[in-house]
Amino acid sequence: MRFETIFLIGGASASAGALLVWLAIRARLGRVTQNLRMRDWALAHQAAEHADRQMLFQAAMEHGPQVVVRLDASGHPVYISPSCRPVFGYGPADMPKCFGADLMHFAADTCLRVRHRDGRTLAIHAQSHRLPDEQGVVLLLTDVTAHQNAEARLSDARVQLAQRAERDGLTGLANRDCFLAAVERALAGKEEVAVFLVDLDRFRQIHDRLGHDASDSVLREVAARLTLAMVGEPLVARLGDDDFAVLLRAADGDAPLAARARDLIRMLEPPVPTGTATAKIGASIGIAAGPRDGTHATALLRAADIAMTHARAAGGNTYRFFESHMAHAMERADELRRELPGAIAAGEIVPYFQPLVRIDDTSVVGFEVLARWEHPILGVLPPIDFLSLVEETGQSAAMFGSLLVCACQAARDWPAHIKLSVNISPIELQDETLPDTVRDILESTGFCGDRLEVEITENALIHDAKVARQVLDRLRQLGLSVALDDFGTGFSSLYHLRELPFDKVKIDKVFMRGLVSDPEASRYVAAIVDFGHALGLDLTAEGIEDTETMNRLRELGCTFGQGYLFGKPMPAEAARSMVTANRIAQMAAE
């Protein structure tokens, strides 16, 4: 029994051992099989990748953008990729026709000019790689023609942009920046130079009468004449609008400069044909010499501008040199420009009142409000000293509001038939918030809108007539009346009278000179009066200085008058006294 038990246990152990051995062998065989399968898969994958690479390589050799050339040690081609055909138009066997028999002298990194089979010239970049052990050279040839053409176009565009940045688009002359740079270079080089600043006389009238296209033609013709007149001088430029400038050599003093200025004025005198009409122009020229009148370009140009202003004030069509006393005016203007904002805020710019009368009986019917600067040091300054500075510094709206408030407060308790007339600048007429400002001032001061009249000049209408009409319409809705100032001096008065809502025209004072003695002036004023009456407009004659002129205007039928005969601009208290005296006189007459 014990033996049998031992035998059975031993037999079971042997069977178990055999089973374990069999399982181990099977597991090992499984791993071997799996490894073989993985190896076969890897080999197949590598073969597929190799085939893909071969296919891509073949495609690159046949159709790629680069041509591969292998040269042996003696420089003869032993391999040329098929991609040479789409690049050069030749197959590998005919490639030497592009380069010649010997390609070795191209075996350097360079850019070559090669002729295509169809006759085009190609730009080819050649990159070389030497093989080890002196086995030869491999060339990589790339067509860079399109790239070079694009770079050339980009370079041309940069040049054109640079030229445009320095040129005036209308005339082709140098622009302001280019001119200032040239003057700065000349002064830095210690050269004796002069600047002519040329301002066209009557250009604004030409623009108003003939239109934009005609005025452009005039500017182009002036540019051509200046260029012709100043041959041999460093530079002719257009600075903007109708302002031109010339840079000249000035080593020989002022006399030759004066002669050149006279020649230039004569050259600009002949009328300019503009297609439908001719335009007669002239020029006011300011001359500044450097470094005498300025050591920097902006200072020299400013000096020439001041001199030009004096030439224009002398009647135009002449020239003036910059002089030292003009510098004091420039310094004064700079000082006033700095003081202006504070002066408006402090109430130093106040309304003065010039009487408007009925010509029949010389009774006062209103006052024109005019600005005066009560300067604490310089005294009372007239508008000519600071109005241009107001626009330059962007203070037009602030000054207009301040003046109107003061004027309405002063005249609020005057008789109801006394009206105030205020001027609106071109800048203010383009401000769509102006009617709101006027409405607020009328409400805050208690001044009636029907006692207020606004005056505008035709210069205020040349920018945006649509906005101007909207502003004027809204002002009329507040009860205001509208007058066209300086009538008869513009070229589009009839058009504006027809298109815009005017109640009155003011005949410019230039027609009052010689009204009694000059029959032509009298006929002209008579025509204006008749025309105004035909349109149902009131008429006011400006600049009346003597009784004879007033009587002649009465005969012609002009209703209202203004001028020194009736009174100069005066402070508010003096105006109140005039109103009171006029009222007493009327009561006595009754």
Where exactly are the structural domains of the chain?
63-147, 168-327, 348-589
Confidence (pLDDT) at 3: 47
More confident call, 108 vs 468: 468
Confidence (pLDDT) at 401: 93
Confidence of residue 407 (pLDDT cuts 50, 70, 90): very high
Q: What is the mean pLDDT of the chain?
A: 82
Domain 348-589: CATH superfamily is EAL domain (3.20.20.450)
Confidence (pLDDT) at 474: 93
**Is 352 a residue whose pLDDT tops 90?**
yes
**Residues 295 and 187 sit within 8 Å (Cβ to Cβ):** yes
Confidence (pLDDT) at 88: 85
- What is the pLDDT averaged over residues 56-66? 59
Confidence of residue 50 (pLDDT cuts 50, 70, 90): low
Confidence (pLDDT) at 179: 93
For 117-153, how does the pLDDT look when each residue is reduced to its tens digit (9 = 90+)? 888 888 888 888 888 877 788 888 888 888 888 777 7
Confidence (pLDDT) at 11: 52
For 74-112, how does the pLDDT look when each residue is reduced to its tens digit (9 = 90+)? 777 888 888 888 888 888 888 766 665 545 455 456 777
Tell whether omega for the bond before 571 is within 30 degrees of 0, i.e. cis. Answer: no
CA distance 485 to 472: 14
**Is 545 a residue whose pLDDT tops 60?**
yes
**Is 223 a residue whose pLDDT tops 90?**
yes
Which amino acid, 88?
F
Beta-strand pair 419-423/363-375: parallel
What would the CATH number be for the domain defined by 63-147?
Answer: 3.30.450.20
Q: Do 63-147 and 348-589 fold alike per CATH?
A: no
**Is 224 a residue whose pLDDT tops 80?**
yes
CA distance 330 to 373: 18
Confidence (pLDDT) at 237: 95
CATH architecture of 168-327: 2-Layer Sandwich (3.30)
Confidence (pLDDT) at 491: 45
For 471-518, how does the pLDDT look when each residue is reduced to its tens digit (9 = 90+)? 999 999 999 999 988 776 554 456 566 667 788 889 888 788 778 888
- Give percent above pLDDT 90 in the chain: 38
Confidence (pLDDT) at 468: 82
Q: Dump the DSSP string for 323-362.
A: -HHHHHHHHHHHHHHHHHHHHHHHT-EEEEEEEEEETTTT
- What is the pLDDT averaged over residues 217-225? 93
Confidence of residue 62 (pLDDT cuts 50, 70, 90): low
CA distance 271 to 508: 27
More confident call, 221 vs 105: 221
Confidence of residue 384 (pLDDT cuts 50, 70, 90): confident
More confident call, 257 vs 99: 257
More confident call, 225 vs 97: 225
**Residues 103 and 75 sit within 8 Å (Cβ to Cβ):** yes
Residue 447 — φ and ψ, nearest 5°?
-90, 135
Which amino acid, 480?
L
If we measure between CA atoms, which residue out of 443, 375, 369 comes closest to residue 406?
369
User: Is the pTM value of this prediction over 0.85?
Assistant: no
More confident call, 71 vs 301: 301
Give the range with max mean pLDDT: 43-47, 65-69, 436-440, 487-491: 436-440
Confidence (pLDDT) at 13: 55
Which of helix, strand or coil describes residue 149?
Answer: helix
Confidence (pLDDT) at 586: 55
**Is 460 a residue whose pLDDT tops 70?**
no
Confidence (pLDDT) at 271: 87
CA distance 544 to 513: 9
**Residues 511 and 487 sit within 8 Å (Cβ to Cβ):** no
Give the range with max mean pLDDT: 60-64, 193-197, 273-277, 464-468: 193-197
- What is the pLDDT averaged over residues 190-219? 87
**Any idea which residue has 């010339």 for tokens?**
246
Confidence (pLDDT) at 393: 81
Extended strands (E) in 72-120: 77-80, 110-115
Confidence (pLDDT) at 482: 92
